[in-house]
């Protein structure tokens, strides 16, 4: 029976991609070879295929599968397969090899994650393309109701988002189990360019609420993404008076400023949103300058917005 030290040595050779040494050790130690090929190691219960795929060792994958007959559908403790590993780490050649050998392209690991979902967690556009062109489904969701498009929007890569929209023009029309849209996700994680793209290309309502009543605007403000909050305000012609009221109730920081020193009052004034201006001043936010020396009140143009100044002396 192979010792623990021997098995660790063989696994290390796989991780390091030392194929010739691995073959030599496997040939002279049948017990070690059998133990390594059949074993599951570490806390995750990984197999030799998991190690090879995770580290992008294509030649070792070929050796294990083509020469030693290792089953490409072996799972670890989380039901993750080698294809999950290769896709999530962006190892394109390993991904393509496993698919060519018949790996199930929509196999599920724990929590119902597919290889495509895992590829979308990183900026692995080429791997994403390979999976989709091999039949990977964009409609599948994980246990939380997240689709691959949700996950791509969490990463916020505009190129990947555009590609997925080209593949399926309706891919955006999806919600998680708590009614969160990919727009919520992009706004929450501060991806301005992705948010702009979603608002331009998709049919999202900027004030759409999830099951807890949270809108993309609220996600942006609560996470300090002021530019995204401004963008969402501009897209909502009537302003977000109801949203601001909810945010204030939740204890949001009314004094938060963006990188240019602009407050929420600057943004409300720039958008001529009278109700928002009134609420922000009532909450204690006073007129002040941004980093360029511009007062929020300098941005007012519409008569109904200018009239707000007459009601609150603190903003004169």
- Nearby residues of 66 by Cβ (< 8 Å), 6 or more positions away: none
For domain 237-316, give the CATH number: 1.25.40.20
Helix/strand/coil percentages in the chain, nearest 5? 55, 5, 40
pLDDT at residue number 251: 64
The residue ranges of every structural domain in the chain are 1-104, 237-316
pLDDT tens per residue, the chain (316 residues)?
A: 567 788 888 899 999 999 999 999 888 877 778 888 888 998 999 999 999 999 999 999 999 999 999 999 999 999 999 999 999 999 999 999 999 999 999 999 999 999 999 999 999 999 999 999 999 999 999 999 999 999 999 999 999 999 999 999 999 999 999 999 999 999 999 999 999 999 999 989 878 899 999 999 999 988 999 999 989 887 765 445 556 665 666 566 778 887 788 888 888 888 777 778 888 888 888 888 999 999 888 888 888 877 876 666 444 4
Structure-token pair, residue 131: 């999976």
**Given CA atoms 280, 285, 287, 288 in this order, what sign does their dihedral have?**
negative
3-state secondary structure of 160: helix
19 phi and psi, to 5 degrees? -65, -45
- Distance CA(146)–CA(36), nearest Å, equals 36
- Alpha-carbon 209 to chain mean position: 19
- Distance CA(304)–CA(239), nearest Å, equals 13
- Nearby residues of 248 by Cβ (< 8 Å), 6 or more positions away: 254, 279, 283
pLDDT at residue number 199: 93
Measured in residues, the chain has a length of: 316
pLDDT at residue number 316: 45
pLDDT at residue number 29: 77
Domain 1-104 identical in fold to domain 237-316 = yes
**Given CA atoms 178, 181, 182, 185 in this order, what sign does their dihedral have?**
negative
pLDDT at residue number 80: 97
Fold of 1-104: 1.25.40
């Amino acid at each position: 029976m192979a010792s623990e030290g021997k098995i660790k040595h063989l696994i290390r050779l796989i991780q390091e991609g030392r194929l010739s040494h691995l073959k030599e050790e496997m040939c002279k130690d049948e017990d070690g070879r059998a133990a390594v090929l059949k074993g599951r190691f570490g806390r995750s219960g990984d197999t030799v295929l998991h190690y090879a795929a995770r580290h992008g060792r294509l030649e070792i994958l070929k050796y294990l599968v083509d020469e030693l007959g290792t089953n490409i559908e072996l799972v670890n403790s989380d039901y993750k397969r080698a294809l999950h590993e290769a896709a999530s780490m962006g190892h394109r050649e390993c991904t393509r090899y496993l698919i060519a050998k018949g790996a199930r392209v929509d196999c599920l690991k724990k929590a119902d994650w597919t290889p495509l979902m895992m590829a979308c967690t990183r900026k692995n556009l080429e791997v994403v393309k390979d999976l989709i062109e091999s039949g990977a489904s964009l409609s599948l969701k994980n246990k939380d109701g997240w689709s691959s498009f949700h996950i791509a929007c969490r990463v916020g890569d505009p190129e990947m988002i555009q590609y997925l929209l080209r593949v399926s023009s309706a891919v955006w029309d999806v919600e998680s189990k708590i009614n969160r849209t990919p727009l919520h996700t992009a706004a929450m994680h501060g991806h301005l360019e992705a948010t702009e793209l979603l608002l331009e290309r998709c049919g999202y309502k900027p004030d759409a609420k999830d099951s807890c009543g949270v809108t993309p605007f609220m996600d942006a403000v609560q996470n300090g993404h002021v530019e995204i909050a401004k963008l969402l305000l501009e897209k909502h012609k009537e302003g977000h008076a109801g949203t601001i009221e909810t945010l204030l109730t939740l204890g949001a920081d009314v004094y938060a400023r963006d990188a240019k020193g602009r407050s929420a009052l600057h943004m409300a004034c720039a958008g001529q949103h009278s109700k928002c201006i009134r609420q922000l001043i009532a909450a204690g936010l006073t007129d002040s300058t941004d980093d360029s020396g511009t007062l929020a009140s300098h941005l007012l143009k519409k008569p109904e917005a200018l009239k707000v100044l007459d009601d609150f002396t603190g903003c004169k």
